[in-house]
Amino acid sequence: MNVLNKLKETAISVLPVMAIVLLLGFTVVPLDKFLLIRFIIGGILLIIGLTIFLVGIDLGIQPMGERCGAELTKKRSLPLLLGCAFLIGLIVTAAEPDIQVFGIQVRGIFDFVNKNIFTFVIAGGVGIFITIGLVRIVFSLSIKWTFFIFYVLLFGIMIFCPDSFIGIAFDSGGATTGPMTVPFIMALGLGVSSVRSDSNNSFGLTGICSVGPVMAVLIYSLILKMTGCFDNMTVAEAASAAECISGGSVMQQIFGPFGNVALEVLRDSVISILPLFCLFLLFQFTLLKMTALQVARVVIGFIYSFVGLAIFLIGVNGGFTQVGSKLGSYLGTMAMNQGGFWFVLLIVIGIIFGAVIVCAEPAVWVLSEQVEEVSGGTITRKLLLVFLSVGTAVAIALALWRSIAGINLKYILIPGYIFSMLLMIFCPPLFSGIAFDSGGVASGPLTSTFVLSFALGAASCGANYNDSFGVIALVAMMPLIAIQIMGIMFKIKTSRQERKSSDGGC
């Protein structure tokens, strides 16, 4: 574990975003100087926090997840494995800060939605589908048929759902894949598959878990529809995603927002870490029986993860979110009023942000490291990040275009997922699993804060605020296409090399 290497990697991922924002702030987009200073401070905190968080994942959470999956599988009790998996999915998801924030956003627009019920609908969906994903691994069921069957069922249900809730349902699938749940879920799947001597079969578990909340929220919307909740629906006006602090001393204007979010971030970080830590204690006394040295290593890993996550979120919420909203609002206003150059600029900036910012997601780093390790270096981290960046860039461009033009989300999602299903026919199963996992991890906390704020700001200038939902859904969809295209290219290249080797041998 090289801390300096991780620091270098995270800095390389975040600094380009900062450079782009600062360039815009000093040229075409008039941004307040204190806002830019807070943005710089937030970026530094983000880099430091992400580095510490990744060190904690390596030390504690990933080894714990792998050991839990392996030990549960060795017990040869499917009910025990599935029961524990459901409990893990339910508890961890219900405590995920992204879900709490997402529930508040939905409640702010649809006042008939009960936030607590909405949260446990999503958590229940994750719990059910993590058990389905583990059943697939245990019985070595086809990952392609698993995804095909559940997505056909998903879109069958979607036909009868209110259009205004479709974006929310698909966004909930992305919001569940937070910085704490993804590493643990991936490690759990790897632990189960390792007992069966098939590590490649572990990929796809996060992707399957992302289907659960989407389906659960769609069913929830059908229940709301049958009870008449949508009959007299009124959509709230867009609210500003950023609050500008005016007045006070220079120090207050610079550091005030960080202080304002610190207590809430610390609380959310504790809520994120504590359920997993309690599960660790439960499993340690009943299942794992690790040595004192191993326990100490895991505890230290949890501490690092908590500290890193808190610093990361303080940086994101204290500096990045406000700038994203201001940029989106200004560019969206200019694009709506003047079009032409400003519309093109909005889309181009969205593409750049999408390509760069996904590389700073904590879960993306965890997935890329696991892919490189399991594939023995055949699938390099850099190659995966390139294709993931391209997919996310296209997704952000589509989301901004849709928000400004008011295009129905179904006209993009349905063809996109149909194309993804068709690609599975030609793509190796390993890459299909990685692709669906990538769709979940790409829509992490940084994307859900900076990019979503940027899109919300742009959408608030012309289209309904309701049109802003679906950004996370598109970010989760496009990597399915991009990574599977990479898999097909890899398959073709490998086949050519094998033919050349065979011809040379003759």
- Note the pLDDT tens digit of each residue in 375-422: 777 778 888 888 888 888 898 888 888 877 778 888 888 899 999 999
**The dihedral of CA 272, 354, 54, 214: what is its sign?**
positive
Q: By percentage, how much of the chain surpasses pLDDT 90?
A: 13
The pLDDT of residue 336 is above 60:
yes
Q: How many CB atoms lie within 10 A of CB 359?
A: 23
- 478, with CB counted inside 10 A (0-12, 13-18, 19+), is buried
Q: How many CB atoms lie within 10 A of CB 477?
A: 26
Q: How big is the chain, counted in residues?
A: 506
pTM of the model: 0.74
Domain that holds residue 57: 3-225+256-505
Confidence (pLDDT) at 82:
87
**Alpha carbon separation from 183 to 61, 82, 105, 454, 484 (Å, rounded):** 7, 19, 26, 27, 22
Q: What's the mean pLDDT in 94-102?
A: 71
Torsion of CA 269, 272, 275, 280, to 10 degrees: -80
The pLDDT of residue 285 is above 80:
yes
User: Is residue 361 in some structural domain?
Assistant: yes
The pLDDT of residue 66 is above 80:
no
Q: Residue for token digits 């949260």?
A: 119
* DSSP run (H or E) holding 313: helix 292-315
Confidence (pLDDT) at 446:
66
The pLDDT of residue 236 is above 50:
no
The pLDDT of residue 348 is above 70:
yes
More confident residue, 243 or 119: 119
The pLDDT of residue 301 is above 70:
yes
pLDDT bracket for residue 240 (50, 70, 90): very low
User: Is residue 40 in some structural domain?
Assistant: yes
Structure tokens at 248: 């006070």
Nearest to 288, CA basis, from 67, 66, 84 = 67
- Say if CB 364 and CB 442 are below 8 A apart: yes
Q: How many CB atoms lie within 10 A of CB 398?
A: 23
Q: What's the mean pLDDT in 337-352?
A: 85
d(CA 105, CA 61): 30
Q: Residue for token digits 């409990």?
A: 87
The pLDDT of residue 463 is above 60:
no
**Range scoring the smallest mean pLDDT among 16-20, 84-88, 231-235, 372-376:** 231-235
d(CA 448, CA 442): 10
Confidence (pLDDT) at 289:
84
Confidence (pLDDT) at 468:
60
Q: Residue for token digits 């349905």?
A: 414
Model confidence pLDDT, tens digit, residues 129-148: 999 988 888 888 888 899 89
Q: By percentage, how much of the chain surpasses pLDDT 70?
A: 88
- Say if CB 189 and CB 137 are below 8 A apart: yes
In a 13 Å sphere around the CA of 325, the CA atoms on its Cβ side amount to 19
Written as one letter, the residue type at 151 is: Y
CA–CA–CA angle 423, 428, 432 (5° rounding):
60
Structure tokens at 302: 């949890």
Confidence (pLDDT) at 243:
46
- Say if CB 451 and CB 352 are below 8 A apart: no
**Range scoring the smallest mean pLDDT among 341-345, 452-456, 476-480:** 452-456
User: Is residue 231 in some structural domain?
Assistant: no
The pLDDT of residue 239 is above 50:
no
- Say if CB 206 and CB 436 are below 8 A apart: yes
Q: What's the mean pLDDT in 26-40?
A: 87
**Alpha carbon separation from 70 to 64, 152, 191, 288, 325 (Å, rounded):** 10, 32, 4, 10, 44
- 438, with CB counted inside 10 A (0-12, 13-18, 19+), is buried
User: Is residue 248 in some structural domain?
Assistant: no
Q: Which residues, in sequence order, are CB contacts of 252 under 8 Å at separation 6+?
A: 245
**The dihedral of CA 167, 169, 171, 174: what is its sign?**
negative
The pLDDT of residue 445 is above 70:
no
Model confidence pLDDT, tens digit, residues 179-228: 667 767 777 777 777 766 555 566 778 888 889 999 999 999 999 888 88
User: What is the average pLDDT value for the chain, to the nearest integer?
Assistant: 81
User: Is residue 247 in some structural domain?
Assistant: no
The pLDDT of residue 13 is above 80:
no
H helices of 227-291, in order, are 250-283
d(CA 406, CA 197): 49
* Residue 306 CA to its chain's centroid (Å): 18
H helices of 427-470, in order, are 429-441, 445-446, 452-459
CB-based burial, 126-158: b 16+ in 10 Å, e otherwise: bbbbbbbbbbbbbeeeebbebbeebbeebbeeb
More confident residue, 362 or 252: 252
Q: What's the mean pLDDT in 418-430?
A: 90
> Inter-axis angle of helices 143-158 and 410-426, to 10 degrees?
160
H helices of 110-204, in order, are 115-138, 143-158, 163-175, 181-195
More confident residue, 80 or 367: 80
- Helix (DSSP H) and strand (DSSP E) numbers for the chain: 21, 0
pLDDT bracket for residue 269 (50, 70, 90): confident
User: Is residue 243 in some structural domain?
Assistant: no
- Say if CB 322 and CB 244 are below 8 A apart: yes
Total number of domains constituting the chain: 1
The pLDDT of residue 278 is above 80:
yes
Confidence (pLDDT) at 215:
94
